[in-house]
Structure 1
């Protein structure tokens, strides 16, 4: 993935990714591996129900500046937030609430300075524009400026 000028992707520092669900348990077609593959033809698609979530664990402490997410319109998180685990901590703490637009376009969500020294990141989609609560993401990038 190519990051905007002055930012770089933290995807290569991810050691584990977990998701709340996969549509019909079909990981070959809709699995978590498609979140970070850079292919606009593949996606992670959750099963129905709310909330849905994504957790990533990093190989080292990182500083997160922003998230870049491309949903499929009609399957977008409505009420969402980001939680992080700081270095030396064990529990997730909420650092950002956001409300994406119901669109297919890539959307950027800046994180505040509280996102330094992060060892894990959790993105929670508490509700969805889909009646059944499904979320579809074609691209997820986690970016840093340091």
Structure 2
């Protein structure tokens, strides 16, 4: 039976992680300790306006941009065409739009964070269909904005 490297408790194999060489209890404590030492970074403020209401911009860091291309499978194409004929909401299409928008904003956040930004202002969001003949194929989402530093409140 293995021993935990921290508490030196003799563990059953199902209570022991061979990768970290810790028992389950010590593993949980170690994860809590690491989270407290490395808190999650502050969220990046996103705004379509040229400023953040109530906050002063102290520095412009540059333009940031993210592009995401999402493909749709043939089944979504077929169901979208049927929905187009009978009317109603195309939930599969809506989900693709929502997922692609979220992915683009996630990438924009990473770009802004890499520049040390507190916010991205003047955000422009563009959707473009990449297919010919009215068929749904690829959806391109481009998000662009200006990464800025904000005054400390």
Q: Same fold (TM over 0.5)?
A: no
Structure number with larger C-alpha Rg: 2
Query: Whose strand fraction is larger, Structure 1's or Structure 2's?
Result: 1
TM class by smaller structure: under 0.3
